[in-house]
Chain A
Amino acid sequence: MNKRGWIFLIPAAVFGLLAAGFYAGLGIDPNVLPSPLIDHPAPRFALPPLQGEAQGFSSADLKGHVSLVNAFASWCAPCRAEHPVLNALAHTGRVPTFGIDYKDKEELARAWIAELGNPYTRIGADDGRVGIDWGVYGVPETFIVDKDGRIRYKHVGPLTEADVERTIMPLVARLER
């Protein structure tokens, strides 16, 4: 082999880099988009209550404590899968949970809550506009908002018990300090 023998290592090195890149890419869910709202104040909004409920949900409800905000809809199947996890989370009383009922029919939303239980401290009915303000592009989506009303975390898709245990709870504990 002559002095330029190293040149034959280039294709092998390029292959190695590409393989490493593709392997890392396997772990990326293309449906999850990074939110530009992280570490920014939550949008100001005031949502009306579901019919028959006394109170809606507005940005004022997020002040002074860590909160979990969950966008859901009765027409959304993954939300049904997620609901028991939210119920369990609410049952622990660790963090107040707020619901944005996204582009839903009110009577269906009420039937949904009656059937599956209500994990939410407050629910606001949204025609879609507040959802856009929060950067919602598909329900369910879940946000963690800190004491100062800043969005600190966004989860796209249904929450699982593992998500709550590994991500949500530690984050809430950290933000409460």
Chain B
Amino acid sequence: MIRALLSALALVAALAPAPAHAVRPDEMLADPGLEARAREVGRELRCLVCRNQSIDDSDADLAHDLRVLVRERIKGGDSNDQVVAYVRSRYGDFVLLRPPFELGTLLLWGGPLLILLLGGVAIARFYRARDDVAAPPLSAEERRRLAAVLGEGTER
């Protein structure tokens, strides 16, 4: 029974969709080191046709052209950063799947932290305000009623 279950699990694992690579064999570089670098770059670049896929995952024509271009530049001696910088200079920040950390994206990266801080300050203030409120002294009327109630208790 357990063995059957295990083999079923193994089958599922084997059939699970691998990362959808659209990289075609005829695009690949002969040098595995350079090809690995091309994959690193390709993972970082957004396909502007499909928008939420990297160029390595997309079957769009433009993604194919960009993959070929990335490989040509890497073969020509460009560093990964130089290749990314070139594509960014043509298509803008949107082509980067990971937005860069800079002045214009400060709110994007810092936003969650900012909200956490603001919330923390608000909570701290709320509890401090609650603790600070001292009970006002009893009025003469209240003191009389309190004495009456307590007096009642002792009489019995």
Interface residues of A (CB under 8 A from B): 33-37, 103, 128-129, 132-135, 137-138
Contact = CB atoms under 8 A, between A and B. Distances in A.
A70 to B, nearest CB: 18
A174 to B, nearest CB: 24
Given A129-B65, A132-B66, A36 B49 contact: no
Interface string B86-123: 00111111100000000000000000000000000000
Contacts of A132: 62, 65-66, 69, 90
Given A103-B61, A128-B65, A129-B65, A33 B49 contact: no
B23 interface: no
8 contacts: A33-B48, A34-B92, A36-B90, A37-B89, A132-B65, A134-B90, A137-B48, A138-B62
Given A34-B94, A36-B91, A36-B93, 20 more contacts: A33-B92, A33-B94, A34-B92, A37-B89, A37-B90, A128-B61, A128-B62, A128-B65, A129-B65, A129-B69, A132-B62, A132-B65, A132-B66, A132-B69, A135-B91, A137-B48, A137-B49, A137-B91, A138-B49, A138-B62
Contacts of B89: 36-37
Contacts of A134: 90
Given A33-B48, A129-B69, A135 B61 contact: no
A31 B111 CA distance: 25
Contacts, number: 38
B92 A36 contact: yes
Contacts of A103: 61
A135 B92 CA distance: 9
Contacts of B94: 33-34
Interface string B60-74: 011001100100000
Nearest to B129: A4
B64 to A, nearest CB: 9
A129 B88 CA distance: 15
Interface pairs A-B: 8 shortest CB-CB: A137-B48, A36-B92, A135-B90, A128-B65, A135-B91, A33-B94, A34-B92, A132-B90
Contacts of A33: 48, 91-92, 94
Contacts of A137: 48-49, 62, 91
Contacts of A36: 88-93
Contacts of B48: 33, 137-138
Contacts of A129: 65, 69
A35 B88 CA distance: 10
A164 B48 CA distance: 26
